[in-house]
Structures are given as C-alpha cells and as structure tokens.
Amino acid sequence: MEGRLAVIESLDIANLGVIASAHVDFGGGLIVVTGETGAGKTMVLSSLQLLLGARADAALVRSGADRLSVDGIFSVGDDVASRVEEAGGVVEGGELIVGRSVRAAGRSRAHLGSRPVPASALLEIVGSMVTIHGQSDQIRLTGEAAQRRALDQFGGATHAALLEEYREAFRAAVDTKHRLDSLRGDANDRAEELEDLRGALAQIDALNPQPGEEEELVREASRLTNVEDLRALMGVSLGYLKGDDRGDYAGAVESARGAYAQLDDASHFDEAVAEFAARARSQALELDALADDVSAYLSRLDADPERLAQIHARRAAIKDALRGRAGDIESLLTWADLARGRVKELSAPASDPAVVERELAQAQRRVLDVGARLSKARARLASELAAGVNDELHALSMPDATLRIDLEATKPSSHGCETVVFRLQPHPHAPARPLGQGASGGELSRVMLALELMLGRTEASSTFIFDEIDAGIGGQTATEVGARLKRLAASRQVIVVTHLAQVAAFGDQHLVIEKHDGTTNVREVTGAQREAELTRMMGGDPHSQAARRHASQVLASAVSQSQG
C-alpha cells in the first residue's frame, strides 16, 4: 500500500436534504457530476464536506427524518493507515470507512475506521486527503491570507519546513519580549508578589495537608458530634443480634444457631437438607462475627470533646489555606507546586532584565535572518507561480491577461516579513489591480482554476473536488477548462460539479443527479444516456437527432483532445 494515492471509492447518503437514499461508486481520473438545478448536486457536496469534518448542521436532515447519515469508503496508503491507527481507527485491506451522522435535534457523531472519533479527527486525516474548492473560494482568494497560503503551498514540503522554522523563531522572539516586559514591570510589585508567595507556601508547608484529608475529617467530626445517637442505635442493633441481657428474647445469633441445629438433625433423614444446614451454619457464624464487631465498635465509642475541637480547628485552618487559592486540598497542592515554580522564577538570575535584553536581541536577529531566507524563497516562488498561472490564463481565453504576485515588505509578523498581493492586469492597457478590486466572476474563476492546476503539482491531497468553478464562462473557454481538469486528473482523482457540457464531456466517469417525485438519486450514465444528458446541458431536445449529433461531436472532440 505504500505510496498509494488516497481516493474516494464509494459514498452512501441517507436522509440528507432532498436525498432520501443514494449510493455512488467513484472511479479514477476525472469524475463529472451534473444535473438540473435543484436536483441535489449541492447535497452530494455537503455529504463529502461532512466526511471531511465540516460543522454539523441539523438543517441538512431530510424533513420528517430522525437523522441523516453519510458513509464513505476511501482507498488509502500506509501513511494514512498509520495516522488512522494512531487515532484509534482500523484500516482493513487498504480501505478506510468514514462515517458521519447528524440527528434532527442537532447532535452529531463521527466514525473513522469503525471507531467513534471527534469530528476534528476527520478534519485532520480525511481533510488532508481531499481538497474541496467552490465558488466561495473565489471570494477567499481575494484576501491576503489566502493568497499568501497559496504561494507558500506552491513551495511544497521544503518551503513548508522553512516557513515553520521562521514561525518558531518568531514565537521565540515574542515569548522573550513578553518575559522582558514582565521583568520591566514595577519592581515593588514583583517583591510584593514574591513575599506573598513565600508566606502562602510557609502556611501550606506548616499545615501539611494530605489528599483526602478533608473527607476523613468530616467523617470523624460526624461520628464525634453524634456519639450518643450512635451509641443508642448500635446498642439496639446489638440487642437484635445477641438478645437482651435478661434472656427475655433470643437474638439473631441464637435463632440462627437453633435453626442450624434443627436442620442438622433433619439432614440425618434426608441428605438434601444438608445443604440447608450448611447454609444456616454459615449464616450463624457470620451473625456471630457481626455481633462481635458491633460490640467492639460500641466499646470504643466514647465522646472526645478535645479531639472534636482539634478537628474543627484543623478544618478551619485548611479552609483558610484554601481561600482564594483552590477549592480542595488536591488543587491546593497543585497551586503550591506552581507557586514554587514562580518563586524560583522570580528569584532566578534569568530574571535580570539585562540578561533577557541580550536574549531578545539575539532572538530578533534570528527572526530577521530566517525571514530574509523566507522572503527570498517567496520571491522565487512568486515568479514561478505567476509565470505558470499566466500560461494557463492565456489558454483559458485570457490571452492578454497577466497575474503579478507582489511581495511588499512589512514589519515582521508571525507570517513573515512581507504581505503577498495578487494583482491581475486583464489587458496591457488596464492597470494591475488586486484581485478583489475589479476582477469579474469569470476572471476570478479562471484565475482560481489556473492556480489549482499549478498547485496540484505540489498539493498533498490526492482528491480534488470542484464545485461549479466554471461559473461565468462558456464556449471555447469551457472546453479549455475541461481539458485542463482532465490533465490534472492524470495524477489525481478529480470530482467536478459542473453545468457545462463542454467540461462534462472530458469526464472518465459521468454521474447524474436526478429528482423524481421529490426524491433524488444518483446514476452513472454512459453511451446514449450520456449523450442525452450532454444534450440537455446544452439546452437541446434529447429526442432531436441533430441535438444528439451535436452532443456526440462535443464528446468526440473531448476524447480526441484527451488522447492528443
């Protein structure tokens, strides 16, 4: 299994939105999903998002149903299998079963490899295998953070290691700065804190409280406070066990002995009674031992006002030590350990501001050194990524467009020493503007697709899901989009929800979402059925021979381009 790409093999959906029940088998390569508006394509995407750990929404549960469920089977390699096993799941034969259910009341459950897990585990493991991109990603793409992540992602594992090195250096500098700020605080406050901590620790050490001591003191205080009632109750119980001193009535012990004697005699006439006699003898011995224990307890049960006063004083001292520090002795001992650490910190040579100032200067130099290397790497990646995206844009009917990735120096932050800005110049006579300023929906769709084609070369995910990213385009551009998705699918599993026949024609597998009488189902189409679906997508009459020939030509053209 080592090195195997993780792909989705099948999906079972029940009671999700308009889908009562559906089963989907996924193949490899490019998988296209089509269907009329409102048929339920969005619900299929929602089911996949649930398996990736998305927030559960009770509104997704089909009307009238108690709960929805989604189960997926993924083919995974050894690396994913190891991570699943670390999370407590099981992978059998290279197949990972992932499940998610959501009740109408709002509660959800997640399963990974047949074991219950938190939804965050799905996000961590399944989310690393599958990447979903939809039209909302076009909006996110206009943000600086998303653009920076895209650039860093293009750098692959080597760049990710450099980025983590920078983040560690920055965190170290921030921590050192916080420590210095604390040291530079009011010296009188620090001295007062040290004095208070030492006084509190002296009080706790002198008291020497023990875990569980409070409960034991409460029990002992209850016994000493109620000694007369205890003596009376225990005396009566002893009478029931041993009888009264005058012999007016027999106690339970004598009664049990008498019963044993009678049963023992009876056993001479019937061996079956021997078992009863043995049980009676055992009970008589047990009652006799119980009576002795009760008698011994009574003999020790004396009032002890002095001890009771000691207990009250001890409980008051413990309560005073707890006040403002903890709710019980165990928490107080934990507080004391932390306080000793703080006393050590306040008393240590490392608390000297001059020493920490030198540490901060060294940490800041490291941030600048690693930051410079990160900036250099980003500049190289920006040039390579922009060039690749521009090549794709030219093929996507934007021959004069230019994407420019600018790095603008800023004060060092947790993300680096520069901001990343994607600027699009639609044609040579237009200014290059940030993506969020002026780019149309169609332009954003093509920029995002071009980016995905480039990022797919370094993306760790082995399955891409695109949700109508071809919105706002058509004609020859749509054909180019299909061809490029087909190229991406050569090394990945790619699932595309599309409304364009030119894109759907490139699919290795074609799934249609259909709605009949309020119920949605999924079916795979091939041959004439696929031609009919492509005809419908192009607005033609599926029964028209001319329209069917047009669909057949579109399909043949896509096959020809794929093979060429």
User: What DSSP assignment string belongs to 308-338?
Assistant: HHHHHHHHHHHHHHHTTT-SSHHHHHHHHHH
Residue 241 per-residue DSSP state? H
Q: Which helix (H) or strand (E) holds 13?
A: strand 7-16
Classify 404 as helix, strand or coil.
strand
Residue 481 located in a structural domain: yes
| Residue 363 included in any domain | no
Is 422 contained in some domain? no
Burial 30-69 (b: 16+ CB within 10 A, else e): bbbbbbeeebbbbbbbbbbbbbbbbebeeebbbeeeebbb
Residue where a domain terminates, one of 342, 368, 397:
342
Q: Which of 277, 311, 342 is the last residue of a domain?
A: 342
The answer for residues whose C-beta is within 8 angstroms of residue 190's C-beta and 6 or more apart is 346
Last residue of a domain, one of 317, 342, 367: 342
Domain that holds residue 43: 1-129+461-525
* Closest C-alpha among 449, 470, 324, 437 to residue 388: 449
113 and 220 fall within a common domain:
no
Q: Give domain status of residue 533, yes or no.
A: no
- Long-range pairs for 156-165: beta carbons < 8 A, 24 or more residues apart: 156/458, 159/377, 159/381, 162/370, 162/373, 162/374, 162/377, 163/374, 163/416, 165/370
Q: What was the pLDDT predicted at 1?
A: 45
**Which pLDDT score, from 0 to 100, does residue 529 have?**
92
Distance CA 267, CA 264 (A): 5
166 neighbors 374 (Cβ within 8 angstroms): yes
Q: How many C-beta atoms surround the C-beta of residue 170 within 10 A?
A: 22
Nearest to 21 by CA among 73, 62, 75, 51: 62
pTM for the model = 0.62
Cα separations (Å) of 17 from 323, 519, 521? 55, 10, 12
Beta pairing class for 7-16 and 19-25: antiparallel
What SS3 class is residue 475?
A: helix
Q: Take residue 435 and report the two structure tokens written for it.
A: 């993506």
Residue 445 falls inside a structural domain: no
Name residues whose C-beta falls within 8 Å of residue 544's C-beta, 6 or more positions apart in sequence. 535
What letters, b where the CB count within 10 A reaches 16 and e where it falls short, cover 486-506? bbbbeebbbbbbbbbbbbbbb
**Residue 373, in any domain of the structure:** no
What is the per-residue pLDDT for 375? 98
Asked if 119 and 233 sit in the same domain, the reply is no
Confirm if 224 and 311 have CB atoms less than 8 A apart: yes
> In sequence order, what are the residues at sequence separation of 6 or more whose Cβ sits closer than 8 angstroms to the Cβ of residue 299?
none
Residue 249 lies in a domain: yes
For the chain, list residues with pLDDT below 50.
1-2
d(CA 449, CA 396): 9
CA distance 9 to 75: 6
Tally of domains within the chain: 2
Structural domain contains residue 429? no
* Residues forming a β-bridge with 130: 463
Q: Are residues 116 and 223 in the same domain?
A: no
- Residue pair 150/435 in contact (Cβ under 8 Å)? The answer is no
